[in-house]
Amino acid sequence: MGFKNDILKNKFNDTYQRMLRDNKFLTEEQLKEEYDLFKSKFGPDKLKSLDGETLLETLFNHGNRDSLVYWLEFKNDDEFHTNRYGGIGGGSALKFGIYKRKEDRKWIAGIPKDMIELELNEAINVAREKRDLLVKGSEIIGSMDNNYEESTYLKLQENIDKELDNLGNLGWAHKYFHMIFPDKIDDFHSVEFQNFYLIKMEEKPIKPDARYALAGQYMKLSNQFNMQATCFTGVLMELFGPLHNYWRVGTTEDNQSYWPQMHQGGYVSMGWGNLGDLNKLENMSNKEAREHLKRELSDKYPNTPQVIGKSANQIISFYRDIKENDTVVAVEGEKVLGIGKVLGDYEYRDGLPFPHCISVNWLMTTNNKLPKPKEGLLTTVNQYKDLDNLIAIERLMDSAMNYIYPHKPPHENLVSLTGIIGKIEKILHRKKQLVLYGPPGTGKTYWAEKACVELASIKSFRKIFDDTDDVEKASLLGDGTSKGIVRFCCFHPSYGYEDFIEGFKPSLINGQAVFSLKDGIFKSLCQEAKKNLDKNFYLIIDEINRGDISRIFGELISIIEAGKRGKEMILPLSGEHFSVPENVFIVGTMNTADKSIALLDVALRRRFGFYELMPDYSLLSEITIENLPMGLWLAELNKRIVECVGRDARNLQIGHSYFMEKGTPIKDFDKLSRVIQEDVIPLIEEYCYGDYITLSKIIGSRFVNFSNQEINHELFKSSNKGDLIASLLEPKPEIATSSSVKPEENEEEGPDTDIEGNNGEQE
């Protein structure tokens, strides 16, 4: 049962070992302590001892932090970590069947469309009924045979369905029974999760709509691995990632196959090209989009109402429902041609016969049929649901070598950007401008430049910046004689409207200073963008918060927003008609150590999107310098800053970029020493305002000379390497014992590497 595939088994074990090293699990002692605590507060014997209003409040008052519903859904603290035992979030409080309304403290029951206000005695009766069902369910589970056989859990499901009414189908009740019987019930509390991860393990769910029958499959597997169920499911989620869907997409039209272009181009696509760019549907509801498409289809692709309605649904599914990381299966009739993972969002490519495209990393090509090949037949876009087909798709992907090591898409691909750049792209698509904000050293300017260059390169040349030639790079960045489509400026207190839009500036003519009206950087950019609508133009504004936003943007602050692009205004100095075209994007950066975004100009905040960049310790997690684990050390340093500095300390943390060079972590001790002495300590000194006691709590007492009220710079002499490392470790010495610490390559084995004689003298 399960893990018949050796590749999957090895990947599972590797993931488990990595999570152990990273302390991702509660210890067995912690788990036992928390399970026992839960049982002591809410176990069936405890519930049977309660009655009346006490029972009602204990079970269902969300405002009571000692209530069952609060512990099941929200309690995450040192005493109890409810998120470790499976989530039941989402939906309203009515999912529990009853709740106490905050505003008037009335008890409410029913369903969202038909809520009922209960008298106290009625609410108590509801609590008694549900208590009795929880107790009954506990008795059923407690009396079941102590094995993990399929028949045992099918019988359990039958008994739960028979005795518990609808309560057995509720996720919160399933979680309750897991907390009481962690050795019998798993901690996936929805059948969607249970089915998804069984399919990922290439194990067919025995009864897809029965969470207690499915629990048996998980309990048997976790028992085979000698793991607690909550640890086993945690590894599965880490290994396979979040839930996703599987899509069947056709590749032919009128006997013409477009699969070769899709495979070579790294995308999946569909026809109906006369509809144009589907992004016009973005702000419509599904109902509005469907009606809009039906009208367009009736005009451009006449057919019966049934066919038109079916086509509209498929188009909406392609545009809206296929998401990043979903699995796509390209088919021709009953034959599978390729399987891939979705990399990005929808894109319209005018000129292609199938112009509606989504970027895909094709993991494999094949010529097989799925077990149920007729599923979705005669449709262009269809979501796979059949369990046999889903498992077959997973097996095909596992058989492909590049499922584990995906290939880099070829240059002509649709290029999809993920991670931080992908998020920047999405915000710019929606807002046209954004501000990257965060503490110092978190890579704000780096990501602003990288994102703008990559986005401009993809729009102009359909390839990433590294793949462009010198001529193409010059068109993006400029070459000294001409300006590129990505430009840079930095705001400061003296920067004004005349620098940004237009203004009178002096120039020497025949030795005389003459003032003339000149265009600013933003006006020039917009004018060039209007002449080159096939390209996107980007303006990076570094330290945008240091300028007087209202004075710099002037009246144009109202026409930069997405909904007003193209709207003309008359500039007061030149009298020219001016507008901001659709293909102009602004990316600003701001250091929150200087100013909170709450203090920014209100008009700017309303028109810009915002994306926060915080210290990323994962970039340093593999770096150890002289037995100092950089990621752990920086995380602990920032933790002390937050604890000691006080208000807004979160915005004063030290970013990872201080310890990076050209996108790569520094590995040299001397460079590290200089960064700490010249960058890190001066910053923290500034935060502490001469309070050397607080300073010593943050960086360590060895760095502070209390008598002279100064930093002990002697530590940074090259001869004091060992003392400096010891001083850095002093506030949290245990990080040196972390499993992430990698011994230096030249470190010798043995207890003592000093070359000393018996008397401690050098021989």
Q: What are the tens digits of pLDDT across the range 294-313?
A: 999 999 999 999 999 999 99
How confident is the model over 24-58, as pLDDT tens digits? 888 899 999 999 999 999 999 999 999 999 999 99
Matching residue, tokens 């792209």: 425
- At residue 146, the pLDDT reads 82
Residue type at 266 in one-letter notation: G
- At residue 742, the pLDDT reads 52
CA distance 725 to 715: 9
How confident is the model over 496-554, as pLDDT tens digits? 999 999 998 888 787 788 888 899 999 999 999 999 988 899 999 999 988 888 889 88
Of 562, 560, 631, 661, which Cα lies nearest the Cα of 601?
560
Of 68, 91, 92, 89, which Cα lies nearest the Cα of 80?
68
CA distance 128 to 123: 9
CA distance 434 to 417: 17
Confidence of residue 756 (pLDDT cuts 50, 70, 90): very low
Which position has the higher pLDDT, 351 or 355? 355
Matching residue, tokens 């991860």: 197
Count how many residues are written for the chain.
763
- At residue 301, the pLDDT reads 94
SS3 503: strand
SS3 173: helix
Share of the chain above pLDDT 90, in %: 53
Spatial contact of 58 and 66, defined as CB atoms under 8 Å apart: yes
- At residue 659, the pLDDT reads 94
With a cut of 60, say whether residue 69 has pLDDT above it: yes
How confident is the model over 266-282, as pLDDT tens digits? 899 999 989 999 988 88
Pairing of strands 486-490, 537-542: parallel
CA distance 470 to 452: 18
Confidence of residue 723 (pLDDT cuts 50, 70, 90): confident
Q: Maximum CA pair distance of the chain? A: 103
Mean pLDDT of the 569-593 span = 91
Q: How many CA atoms lie less than 13 Å away from 54 in the CB half-sphere?
A: 8
Mean pLDDT of the 418-445 span = 89
Of 295, 347, 338, which Cα lies nearest the Cα of 319?
347
- At residue 598, the pLDDT reads 61
Domains observed in the chain: 6-240 (no CATH), 246-403 (3.10.590), 419-612 (3.40.50.300), 618-737 (no CATH)
Pairing of strands 433-438, 584-591: parallel
With a cut of 70, say whether residue 402 has pLDDT above it: no
CA distance 621 to 23: 14
How confident is the model over 636-689, as pLDDT tens digits? 999 999 999 877 788 889 999 999 988 889 998 999 999 999 999 999 998 888
Radius of gyration over every alpha carbon of the chain, rounded to an integer in angstroms: 31
With a cut of 60, say whether residue 415 has pLDDT above it: no
Spatial contact of 226 and 207, defined as CB atoms under 8 Å apart: no
* Six-digit token string for 174: 């399933």
Spatial contact of 97 and 91, defined as CB atoms under 8 Å apart: no
Identify the H or E element spanning 300: helix 286-300
Render 223-251 in DSSP notation, one character per residue.
HHTT--HHHHHHHHHHHH-S---EEEEE-
Spatial contact of 245 and 192, defined as CB atoms under 8 Å apart: no
List the end-to-end C-alpha distance of the chain, in Å, as a whole number: 65
557 DSSP 8-state letter:
G
SS3 621: coil
104 DSSP 8-state letter:
T
- The residues, ordered by sequence, that sit 6+ positions from 565 with a Cβ below 8 Å of its Cβ are 432, 559, 579, 580, 581, 582, 584
Spatial contact of 616 and 442, defined as CB atoms under 8 Å apart: yes
Confidence of residue 404 (pLDDT cuts 50, 70, 90): very low
Angle at CA of residue 457, ends 257 and 613, nearest 5°: 115
Confidence of residue 592 (pLDDT cuts 50, 70, 90): confident
- Of 273-277, 405-409, 556-560, 575-579, least confident by mean pLDDT is 405-409
Q: How many CA atoms lie less than 13 Å away from 183 in the CB half-sphere?
A: 9
- At residue 737, the pLDDT reads 62
Confidence of residue 173 (pLDDT cuts 50, 70, 90): very high
Q: How many CA atoms lie less than 13 Å away from 301 in the CB half-sphere?
A: 18
Spatial contact of 458 and 465, defined as CB atoms under 8 Å apart: no
279 DSSP 8-state letter:
G
Confidence of residue 9 (pLDDT cuts 50, 70, 90): confident
5 DSSP 8-state letter:
S
Across 296-334, where does the E strand assignment appear? Answer: 327-332
- Of 314-318, 435-439, 475-479, least confident by mean pLDDT is 475-479
Matching residue, tokens 């026992």: 36
With a cut of 90, say whether residue 738 has pLDDT above it: no
How confident is the model over 127-163, as pLDDT tens digits? 999 999 999 999 999 999 888 899 999 999 999 999 9
Q: What's the sign of the alpha-carbon dihedral 338, 341, 346, 347?
A: negative
Spatial contact of 106 and 61, defined as CB atoms under 8 Å apart: no
CA distance 452 to 441: 19
- Of 96-105, 620-629, 740-749, least confident by mean pLDDT is 740-749
Of 745, 710, 439, which Cα lies nearest the Cα of 594?
439
Mean pLDDT of the 205-214 span = 95
Mean pLDDT of the chain: 87
- At residue 531, the pLDDT reads 92
- The residues, ordered by sequence, that sit 6+ positions from 529 with a Cβ below 8 Å of its Cβ are 535, 537, 581, 583, 584
CA distance 386 to 371: 9
Taking CA atoms, 722 is separated from 506, 695, 719, in Å, by 58, 21, 8
CA distance 536 to 484: 11
Of 656, 652, 646, 624, which Cα lies nearest the Cα of 743?
624
With a cut of 60, say whether residue 753 has pLDDT above it: no
